Structure 1
Amino acid sequence: MSSEKTRRRFLEATGIAGVAALAGCSGNGGDGDGDGTTQDGDTTTTQGGSGSTRLSWHAGGTGGTYYPLSNEIKTIVEANTDYSLNVQSTGASVENVGSLADASADFALIQNDIAYFAKNGTGIDTFEGNAIENLEGVATLYPETITVVTLQDTDIETLSDLSGATINTGDLGSGTQVNANQILEAVGITDYNEQNAGFSQASEQLANGDIDAAFVVGGWPVGAIEDLANTNDVQIVPIQGENREAVKDAASWFADDTIPAGTYTGVDEAIETVAVQAMIATHAGVDADTVETVTAAIFDNLDELTIKTDFISVDSAQDGMSIDLHDGAAAYFDA
């Protein structure tokens, strides 16, 4: 697939008329509880049960890290504030930016590179001339490892072996899709059949022989890959050596990363790769008190998290922050 075809498909999927149209991809009704949510153009905050104020938090696919981490955050916030969080499964970063742009979400998890592109109206076609001026940062969380997964019987051992392959590059409009296409282009791979689905479906596609490889972006271990490795002989394709340098030269937000040996069943050696950074974002229409209260609830109670606990901390919460902080987040971290 040529990079031009990829760009055309991406624009068709996301809607060239405006990045805010991305928010419509999430199918909000499937995750709602039926309480009549109203929007005032600035925030999706609504009155929940028992006098609590409900906030909309957009995560990612259920097979990645965003969704389970968001539900742990939901538990912490609801236990320590008067807010309730409505966590929604979505197509992740690019779609989540659209939800923040039109205020159909109050908070969302996104990648730091996607945040930069969106805020500055650059980097990828979706945001060219469509800067999301109301997008603001809350905190960075952990490295999001790029994992290229296949099965051992495909004989795919290096990135160059992906030429001519059928590859799931992630959900349409996701940061995973953006990163996958950036990496493939950087190493000179243009001849491939692109499939688009979330991590869980990609795992099923691999198991069924419908695709040859899949890109997954998320903090290891990724649940969908763990499940696949428990029933199939998986292989993780490294991004190393000249290929890794080419990827970093093409996009400065990629950093070196390593998947430790034993992270996945049958993968007994450490795998070199690259990573971006996961972050919490919000929009300017959410008031400072709300953002400060939610931020404090999370970072004052990190001992209640079980996911990515080696990385998430107050001290590192601004490492790799690629956009301006919301005033409420700044009030917490500057206190």
Structure 2
Amino acid sequence: MVALAIAAVGMVALRGCREPVCDPVHYPPGGIRISTGGVDGVYEAYGQALEDVFHDELPDLTVHVDNSSGSVDNLGRLAAGRADLAFISADTAFKVPTLEQQAGAPAGRIRAIARVYDEYVQVVVRRDSTLQALSDLRGKRVSMGSEGSSVEITAQRLLDAAGMGNEKDILRRSYSVKESARQLANGTLDAFFWVGGLPTEAVAELASALPIRLLPLEQYVETLHRQYGSFYQLATVPAGTYAGVGDTRTAAVPSYLLASLRLDDDLVFRMTSSLFTHRQRISEAVPSGRVLDVRSAISTASIPLHPGAMRYYRSVKP
């Protein structure tokens, strides 16, 4: 009887195994939680795509996909043990030690699985508005992104660079990308900041219903790079990304998929393998998934790789 029970456990652990990745896997009781971002954002879409992939590759793993306010919120959830996987923008990584300390968590609990894609800073305005440059936002109604998001951090840094860092320089709002798009369409908002992959669904839907423009940010990228880190790079939102919007020079920053160190190494190994094995499938749901590359995925700066992810990268190294 005991032998039969042991055999049954082994079957559960290995069911859904795909060669050459067939390690026994420890599934957390109650499954895992993936903390993403706002509704209709790229993080949400990526999290849902991962849920589908894990359902096939790890059929005994229960996956919950949760919306959040964004990167800073996600880091807090990871530190507090309320999330197991999460997406963040690289420019919020500096908050990891503080958030772990606030949560009473051991230092180093937050680890990386991969650098997944680049996020583009987008300042969205109506095409018929008089706003042409960042400096034109003075005195205007501007959404800085949801509280607890990387958008809020990046927007503040850009306003500082443009000499508008004072609280009174703009009429600040704190809306998600979906709510920002709605308010811009309604005429109750003049502009909004967004930092995300291309295209972002909420912005694409807005552009299909209302002519929009993106403000150029090229002149501030060097300041961001110098003051805050080399992860800020000059980039272009290509023409046609959004209906009627031409090439726009802006800043880009990498995004990371993170994991809690509490997750079993074998499980994270399988998750990382699934991420790359199903890259094409993920990119069909999330166009930003096309740029996932094993060579750049390990570049997660100050956040060390999870041992399970590290083992995967070593296994595929030429």
The answer to whether the superposition gives a TM-score over 0.5 is yes
Distance 1:103 1:195, change over 3 A: same
Aligned partners of 2:145 and 2:193 also within 8 Å: yes
How big is the shift at 1:129? 8.2
**Equivalent residues in 2 for 1:1-335 (5 A)?**
45-47=28-30, 54-81=31-58, 82-115=60-93, 117-121=94-98, 133-190=108-165, 191-241=169-219, 243-252=220-229, 253-267=231-245, 269-305=246-282, 306=284, 307=286, 308-335=288-315
How big is the shift at 1:154? 2.4
CA distance in 2 between partners of 1:95 and 1:309 (Å): 23
Aligned partners of 1:77 and 1:297 also within 8 Å: yes
Q: Which moved more, 1:221-230 or 1:308-317?
A: 308-317
CA distance in 1 between partners of 2:276 and 2:290 (Å): 14
Look up the SS of the partner of 1:148 in the other structure.
Answer: strand
CA distance in 2 between partners of 1:212 and 1:46 (Å): 47
TM-score norm. by structure 1 comes to 0.79
Aligned partners of 1:44 and 1:56 also within 8 Å: no
Aligned partners of 2:142 and 2:192 also within 8 Å: yes
CA distance in 2 between partners of 1:247 and 1:218 (Å): 17
Partner of 1:22: none
Look up the SS of the partner of 1:153 in the other structure.
Answer: coil
- 1:188-239 C-alpha deviation (Å, 9 max, x unpaired): 1130111001110000010111111101111111111111111111010010
Aligned partners of 1:137 and 1:321 also within 8 Å: no
Aligned amino acid, residue 305 of structure 2: L
Aligned amino acid, residue 247 of structure 1: L
- Number of residues paired by the alignment? 280
TM-score norm. by structure 2 comes to 0.83
- 1:61-104 C-alpha deviation (Å, 9 max, x unpaired): 12210001111111111101132311111111000001100111
Runs (5+) with no aligned partner, structure 1: 1-42, 48-53
CA distance in 1 between partners of 2:270 and 2:175 (Å): 35
CA distance in 2 between partners of 1:156 and 1:219 (Å): 24
How big is the shift at 1:319? 2.9
Distance 1:293 1:44, change over 3 A: closer
- 1:285-316 C-alpha deviation (Å, 9 max, x unpaired): 22212211211121122121122233112222
Aligned partners of 2:217 and 2:249 also within 8 Å: yes
CA distance in 2 between partners of 1:263 and 1:276 (Å): 18
Q: Which moved more, 1:194-203 or 1:275-284?
A: 275-284
Aligned partners of 1:44 and 1:103 also within 8 Å: no
Runs (5+) with no aligned partner, structure 2: 1-25
Aligned partners of 1:45 and 1:56 also within 8 Å: no
